[in-house]
Structure 1
Amino acid sequence: MQNFQFSIIFVQRRKEMGVTQQQVAQYVGVSKAAVSKWEQGLSYPDITLLPKLATYFNISIDALLGYEPQMTKEHIQKVYAQLAKKFSEQPFEQVQLEIEELLSEYYACFPLILQMAQLYLNYYQSSENPQTILDRVLLLCDRVKALSNDYKLAHESEMIKAYVMLLTGKPEEVLLTLGDEVGIYYGKEQLIATALGMTGQVAKAKEIMQVSMYQYMLGTISSATEGLLMETDNRKHFDETVHRIEAMLELFQVNKLNINAGLVFYLKAAMGYVMQQRKEKAIEMIRKYYRMCCEIVFPITLRGDEYYYMLDDWIARDINLGSQAPRDEMSIKKDLLGSISNSPLFDSLKEDEEFTAIIVNLKHHLKL
C-alpha cells in the first residue's frame, strides 16, 4: 500500500515539475530503469535516497511517502465503521492485527488511539483472552492522557479507563481516579449562552442551550436507570422511578433521539422486578423493551428531532463517531436478543409463555 502511494505521488510530482525519469535518475544517482520500477510500484528506493528525492521534489519525506501522522475526524469515523463491521465477520484476532498495525503507523494520532480503545472495549468479549484486550485499552488510555494536550481527549480517556476498572473489579481505583463526590451544577452553559446572545451570536446560544438540555435529559434517564437496581428493596421509590422515567421517555420521544437509553432502562427495570419477584411487572417491562426494539431503524444513528432541531450539527462536529453507532448492526441485533434470552436474571421467566413468545418474535423481527 505504501509503495503504491509513493508511486502515485512520485509520478504526479515529476510530471508537475516537467522532468523526465532520466533527469531524476541522474540527480539521485541510480539508473533510469530503477526510477521506472519505482513509478510502477515494482520496487522502492533505498531509505537513504528518500531525503534526496524529497529535496529534489521540494516536499517533505512524509508527503513523498503519502504518510500523514494525523487522521482527519472523518477518516477515523470511516476506519472505525469498517473495523467494527469486520469484528462481526472475521475472527477477533485477525481484526486485532489490523488495528495494531494501524496504531503502529499512527501512534501520535491521539483521537484515533482513543477510538481504537473504545472499539476494543465494545468488542473485547469476542476475544479469546478478554483480559488482555482490556489491559491494552488501559495502555492506550494512559498514552492519550499522558501525551495529548487536548483536555477533552484526556478526560474521555480517563472515563474509559474508569469503566475498564469497574469491569475488572477495581472500584477503589475508580474512586481514586474520579473521586467519591458529585460537584455542584453551576449552570455554566446558561451563562455562556446568555453572553453569546448579548454579542449577537443567537444561533450559537440556542445550540448551546439545546445541547445542554439534551445531555442533562439523557443524564437524568441514565442516572435513574443505574440507580434502579440499588433501590430494589425500596419498592415505593423503585415504582416511582419507573413511572417518572417512562413519562420522560414518552415526553421527550427518546426512542427517536437515543433509543439505547430507553432499551437499557426497560432492561434494568425488568431485572429489578425479577429481583423483587414481581413476575408480571417484569414481563411488562420486557414487553415494552420488545416494542422499542421493533421501532429501531437500522442503521442506528444519533440525531436530533423537531424539538432538538439544532442537535445534528453539534453531533457531527463534537461527537467523535458523529451520528454512527459504536457497534456494527449484526452485533447490535445479537445483543438486543441476547440481553433477554441469555441473561441468568431472566431464567425464572423462561417458563412463561409470553416471555418465550417475545424472544421468538424478536428473533424473527431482527432476522437472526
Structure 2
Amino acid sequence: MNEFRFSDNFTLMRKKLGMTQGDVATYIGVSSAAVSKWERGLSYPDLSLLPKLASLFDTTIDKLLGYEPHLTTATIMELYQTFSKRLSEENFEMVQKDIENMVKEYYSCYPFLVRIAQLYLNHYFYSKKPQLVLNRIVELCERVVALSDDHKLIQEAQIIYASALLIMNKPQELLKRVGYDIPIQFGVEKLIARAYAMLSDINKVKETLQISAFQHLLSMVSSEIELLKYASDNQNLFDEMINRIEKVIDIYNIEKLNSHIKLTFYYQASLGYMKQHRRTDALRMLERFYHTCKHLSFPMKICGDDYFYIVDNWIEQNIHSGPYAPRNEQAIKDDLLNMLQKESLFVPLHEDPKFKWMVNNLQRMFQSKPKRENESVS
C-alpha cells in the first residue's frame, strides 16, 4: 500500500542537518553522483549503508525508508469494509489475491491479520475452495497468537481460530484450545469502577459499569437464544424461555441496541416451534422476524440508546468493525432471505399464504443482486 519514500525523507533529513550532498557522500564513502541519484529516486543506497545513514540522521531504517509496517485502526476498518463489499460482489479468488498481497506487506501488523481472519470467517463460503480459506484463517490466527504481545488481540485471535475449528467440524481441537469448562466471571469491572470512585472520577465509574451491564445483557440474551436450539424437547421450559427472553428484549430495547439479536431470537423460536409441530406459533414468530427485517436500518450496527447512553464511544474503539456489522448490506439481506427459503424445517410452510407473503415481500424489499461470477445459476 505504501511505497518507500526514501528520496523525500533523505533530502529532508540532510537539509535539516545543514549538510550538502557532498558532505553526506564523504561521510558515507560514496560519490556525490550516487547521493544525487538517491535524492532523485533513481536508485537506493546499498543495504549495508542503511544503518550508517540512519545513525547519521538519528533515525531508524524504517523511518528513513518511509516504510510503515503497521496500519492505523481507522485504515484497517476501512480496508475491512472495502474488502467485505468486494467479497460479496466479486469473484472471491480474485479479491483474495488483493487481500493476500496486503497481508504480505503488513505481515507484522497483527491487528490487521486478525481482521483479515475475521473477514475470511465471514465470507469463506463464497470461495470455490472454502476449506483452504478456513485453513488460512487458522494460519493467520496462529501467527498472531505466537508472536503478538497484545493479550486482547491474542484472545480475539483464539476466538476466531475456535470458530474456524467449529466450522471445520473439529470439536475436540476447539475444546483443547479454548478450554473444557466455563471460567468464573470475577467481576473485575466492579473493582475498576470502585477505583475510579476513590479517584473521584464519577464519569469513569458510570462508563465502566454501564459498559459492563451492556455487555452482560447482550451476552445473557445471546446465550439464552443459543440454548433455545436444545430446549425444544421440553415444551414447558421452551415456552417459559420464549416468554422471558421476549420480555427482556422488549424491556431493554434490544432491537435498538443490536437488531441481529432480536432477529436471531425470532428465528430460533420459530425453528423450535416447527420441531414441536406448532405451525401457528412458528408463523407468529416468523411474522415478528419479518417485521423486524422490515424496519432494519442499514448499515446495521451495535449502539446505545437513551438508557445505555455512554457506550457508543467504547463500541467504536473496542469492537473490531466499529459499531457496524462485519458483513455488507446486500450480503446480510441475502442471508435473511436464505434463512427463510433454505431452512428445511420451514418446508411444510412453503405453501402457507402468510409464509409466502412474507418471503415475497422481503424479496421485493431487499432487491437481491444478480448472481456472482463464481455462483451457479439454478
Q: Same fold (TM over 0.5)?
A: yes
Post-superposition offset of 1:239: 1.3
Counterpart in the other structure of 2:247: 247
Counterpart CA distance in 1 for 2:260 and 2:142 is 28
Q: Is the 8 A contact 1:4 1:41 kept in 2?
A: no
SS of residue paired to 1:261: helix
SS of residue paired to 2:169: coil
Q: How does 1:252-331 map to 2 (within 5 A)?
A: 252-331=252-331
Counterpart CA distance in 2 for 1:232 and 1:358 is 24
Q: Is the 8 A contact 1:3 1:44 kept in 2?
A: no
Counterpart in the other structure of 2:111: 111
Counterpart CA distance in 2 for 1:341 and 1:6 is 57
Post-superposition offset of 1:24: 6.5
Residue 179 of structure 2 corresponds to residue 179 of structure 1: yes
Query: Partner amino acid for 1:237?
Result: L
Counterpart CA distance in 1 for 2:277 and 2:230 is 15
Post-superposition offset of 1:44: 5.3
SS of residue paired to 1:162: helix
SS of residue paired to 2:285: helix
CA RMSD of aligned residues (A): 2.5
Counterpart CA distance in 2 for 1:59 and 1:41 is 20
5+ residue gaps, structure 2: 369-378
Q: Is the 8 A contact 1:70 1:109 kept in 2?
A: yes
Q: Is the 8 A contact 1:28 1:49 kept in 2?
A: no
Query: Partner amino acid for 2:218?
Result: L
Counterpart in the other structure of 1:166: 166
Counterpart in the other structure of 1:140: 140
Q: Residue deviations 1:276-306, cap 9 Å, x none?
A: 1211111111111111112221122221111
Post-superposition offset of 1:5: 3.7
Query: Partner amino acid for 1:367?
Result: Q
Query: Partner amino acid for 1:351?
Result: E
Post-superposition offset of 1:367: 2.7
Change (3 A) 1:177 1:226: same
User: 184-193 or 317-326: which moved more?
Assistant: 184-193
Q: Is the 8 A contact 1:28 1:52 kept in 2?
A: no
Q: How does 1:26-175 map to 2 (within 5 A)?
A: 29=30, 32=33, 35=36, 47-48=47-48, 50-51=50-51, 53-55=53-55, 57-175=57-175
Counterpart in the other structure of 1:191: 191
User: 86-95 or 351-360: which moved more?
Assistant: 86-95
The share of aligned pairs that are identical, in percent, is 42
Query: Partner amino acid for 1:117?
Result: A
Counterpart CA distance in 1 for 2:351 and 2:290 is 18
Q: Is the 8 A contact 2:88 2:123 kept in 1?
A: no
Post-superposition offset of 1:63: 1.4
Q: Is the 8 A contact 2:287 2:358 kept in 1?
A: yes
User: TM-score when scaled to structure 2?
Assistant: 0.87
Q: Is the 8 A contact 1:25 1:35 kept in 2?
A: no
Counterpart in the other structure of 1:212: 212
SS of residue paired to 1:322: strand
Q: Is the 8 A contact 1:269 1:285 kept in 2?
A: yes
Change (3 A) 1:49 1:348: farther
5+ residue gaps, structure 1: none
SS of residue paired to 1:113: helix
Counterpart CA distance in 1 for 2:180 and 2:40 is 62
User: 205-214 or 184-193: which moved more?
Assistant: 184-193
Q: Residue deviations 1:152-179, cap 9 Å, x none?
A: 1222222222222211112222222333
Query: Partner amino acid for 1:323?
Result: P
Q: Residue deviations 1:82-124, cap 9 Å, x none?
A: 2212212321112222222222222222211111111110111
User: TM-score when scaled to structure 1?
Assistant: 0.89
User: 357-366 or 50-59: which moved more?
Assistant: 50-59
Change (3 A) 1:43 1:208: same
Post-superposition offset of 1:33: 9.0
Q: Is the 8 A contact 1:24 1:35 kept in 2?
A: no
SS of residue paired to 1:88: helix
